[in-house]
Amino acid sequence: MRFLKTRLFIFPLIGLLAISCVGPVKELKYQIEDTWDVNESFADNPKPLKEIENLKELTALKVYSFDEDSKRNLNVALCENLYLYPSFKGYVYAFDLKSNKLLWTYNHKKNIISGLACDNKGIFFVDKNGDLISLSLTGNKNWISFVGEAFSLPSLTINSVLIRLSNNSIISLNLLDGSKNWVYQLPKSTLSLRSWPQISTSGDTIYVGGTSGKVIALDLNSGLLKWETTFSSIYGNSELERSNDVTSNIIVDNSALFVISSNGHIAALSLLDGSVLWTRALSSFVGMVSNTNNLFVTHNSGSIYSIAKNNNEVLWRNADLLGRDVSRPLIIGDILLVSDYEGYLHVLDLVYGKIISRYKISDNLILNPVIFEDRVILSALSGETYFIDNLIGSSSLNNFMKVEANETEDAVIAEDIVNEKEESIIDSIIFWD
């Protein structure tokens, strides 16, 4: 392909819809990914990796192999200088990143469900029996409190632990002793999801993504409702088609909160009253991250998007990893890090969205990477843990994308159609394919 620096002019919406979809209007990714078929699953047809020119060489140093295979994608945690690795079988390992030694192991003897959350007051997780456990940073049990079945990570505030249960209720517990502060019941869904995000907090307000494209704001201290907003419509006939829950973290900054649903839209909402500032068709189950100006979203198909916070303009889209079970991105300076189901680590340029490096870490899924000082720490599902030292502090790849209008064969300009009610093409984007 060639890099066509052109914008397409608006033409009748009916014509666009006839070209871009069959039946109900598909969301943004499907309108652009015109090879998608309603009966086709990207996950069943992963896109083969194409050869790339490694513009940034990676080296990964294996530093430890935990004895217990996690068996499932649990959340690792970083607390001070401790790298905390949970095992589904109930072990918690504390690895000291200063001395590169295993400090202690805690055997809970019951399955750990979602992984760990921690701060300087302790380590928190939920087991298969619905107990919320608090450990000290030295591996001693502080307290245990029954909360019920939960598949989400605890969220920690100054004085409380917040957890979302599978019955769609929010519970607040005292951080010091595990006693219950309050419980709030969200609207229940006919479908039971086994994945919920951590609860987001800002000041004295907590923000919770609900079912059917809703966001709810609660008072942190009392659990009372402040406001409720529906930002994403639901479509379809069956319950599965109409499932449109928020399964990824809500991002809160000084100007707005940003939320994305699993089968519908991404939106910016007012912190004050939840009013919708902007919205557009785009879905994600695993979520997004942000820097000062942009959001970076892993789409359900495996595409990765960069979207401007202030006006929802799509800046670029990378479709090199379709169907590869792509992780939520991690921002490191001027690069973006994602992993896939084959254990590859992919490095993308933050500005242009092109994959600039790739490294085979493992034959297994890679758990969520964390950053400690000048290195990235990551573990494979099989327990091997690696340091990558040459990612932090990377200067912008200034010479990487000095592209003339006809120099690149990887990028094209693709139309960005929002939905059937809007009558204009919002922007044109860099489209890596």
The model carries a pTM of 0.81
End-to-end CA distance of the chain: 9
Residue-level pLDDT at 255: 81
- Beta strands at 428-432 and 314-318: parallel, antiparallel or unpaired: parallel
- Give yes or no for a contact between 126 and 154, defined as CB atoms under 8 angstroms apart: yes
Q: Which two tokens stand for residue 383?
A: 């327990």
CATH fold of the domain at 1-75+288-433? Lipocalin (2.40.128)
How far is C-alpha 8 from the geometric centre of its chain's CA atoms?
32
- Give yes or no for a contact between 56 and 398, defined as CB atoms under 8 angstroms apart: no
Q: Distance between CA 420 and CA 12 in Å, rounded?
A: 11
* DSSP per residue, 337-380: EEE-TTSEEEEEETTT--EEEEEE--SSPBPPPEEETTEEEEEB
Q: Distance between CA 271 and CA 295 in Å, rounded?
A: 17
**Phi then psi dihedrals of residue 28, to 5 deg:** -50, -50
* DSSP per residue, 66-102: -SS---S-PBPEEETTEEEEE-TTSEEEEEETTTTEE
Residue-level pLDDT at 401: 39
* DSSP per residue, 106-128: EE-SS-BSSB-EEETTEEEEEBT
Consecutive sets of 10 residues in the chain, 433 residues long: mean pLDDT of each? 35 36 36 35 74 79 80 88 93 94 95 92 95 96 95 93 92 96 84 70 92 89 95 62 72 92 88 94 90 94 94 94 93 92 93 93 89 90 87 50 33 33 34 49
- Give yes or no for a contact between 140 and 128, defined as CB atoms under 8 angstroms apart: no
SS3 242: helix
Q: How long is the chain? A: 433
